[in-house]
Amino acid sequence: MVSLINTIDTGHEDMIHNAVLDYYGMHLATCSSDGSVKIFDVKNRNQVLVADLKGHQGPVWQVAWAHPKFGNILASCSYDRKVIVWKEGGANDWTKLYEYSNHDSSVNSVAFAPSEYGLMLACGSSDGSISILTCNTEYGVWDCKKIPNAHTIGCNAVTWCPSTVPEPAFDQKSSTRSAGIKRLASGGCDNCVKIWREESDRWVEESRLEAHSDWVRDVAWAPSIGLPRSQIASASQDRHVIIWNSTDFTTWSPTILHTFDDVVWSVSWSMTGNILAVTGGDNKVTLWKENNENQWTCINDDASVAGGQQSEQRTL
């Protein structure tokens, strides 16, 4: 049984494009076409506005929380071509930590890398490129690497592969620890999902996943729960959600989760990776679960939850 826990009146003056809980589920960040980012304390089912961040000059498409080991850090991206990284200093005292403005068009997606890799942020833009921002937390200096022409016409979404780096508490041979291979996936206006792998000081295309017939609007790499496989969900304007499975990062097998009644805007995995949430132009949030026969079934069908989120396209 799926039930509505809480409804939050954000006070945004225009459409809300994204809402994300932090690592502990204590704070909610929202962003809107009104150009603002808001942070709410949502402990004990309450809602208290603790920050109203104004730094963008256009609709803000997405927000992303960094791992709390780096402090309370939030990234936002906007139609104004900028990415802003915000940090909480004192209690509820949020300031701009870093601003990145090296894209030529709208920045549509931001995603922090697994914390084992340090403070890293991927940014996907309508100019077709992906930027990888890395912060030297000791000196507060940011470095940028760019994947040019990642997607023809534009990149709509980025997501990181879970880390394969062992946790220090479980790895007694820390001196021989592998740094792990960094990977991320992206979706774009070329109808493709692409897998990127870091090699030395650059990012190379490792796989190109082609099964959608229209723009890919979102991609989400499932959390790792110890299974010997990788799983990616992609959502498209072709009304399909596709689940991609691989055991070697080389061969990816697609399974169509469902054909929806309208454009699919967003996909999001539960923390355990066994439930997928899907939202789209049908104004519904649906939750999907895979059974032992590798079949996906809808475990809810709640038309009252989505409220028209993301019902307008991002402008290139």
pLDDT digits (tens, 9 = 90+) for 205-241: 999 999 999 999 999 999 987 778 899 999 999 999 9
Rounded to whole angstroms, how far apart are CA atoms 148 and 64?
A: 23
Higher-confidence residue: 73 or 163? 73
Residues pairing with 207 in the sheet? 195
pLDDT digits (tens, 9 = 90+) for 23-33: 999 999 999 99
Tokens of 218: 């979102």
Q: Cite the beta strand spans of 72-137 per DSSP E.
A: 73-78, 83-88, 94-100, 107-112, 119-125, 130-136
pLDDT digits (tens, 9 = 90+) for 245-268: 999 999 999 999 999 999 999 999
Q: What pLDDT is recorded for position 306? A: 43
In angstroms, the Cα distances linking 315 to 61, 70, 78, 190, 276 are 11, 33, 11, 16, 27
Does residue 165 register a pLDDT over 70? no
Cα dihedral: 103, 104, 105, 111 (round 10): -10
Residue 121 binned pLDDT confidence (cut-offs 50, 70, 90): very high
Residue 119 burial (CB count, 10 A): 22
Give the chain's domains with CATH numbers: 12-128 (2.130.10.10), 150-164+181-301 (2.130.10.10)
Residues whose CB is less than 8 angstroms from the CB of residue 126 and which lie 6 or more positions away in sequence, other chains included = 105, 106, 107, 108, 153, 154, 155, 314, 316
Q: What pLDDT is recorded for position 60? A: 98
Does residue 307 register a pLDDT over 60? no
Q: Are strands 130-136 and 119-125 parallel, antiparallel or unpaired?
A: antiparallel
pLDDT digits (tens, 9 = 90+) for 73-83: 999 999 999 99
Q: What is the reported pTM?
A: 0.90
Q: What is the mean pLDDT of the chain?
A: 90
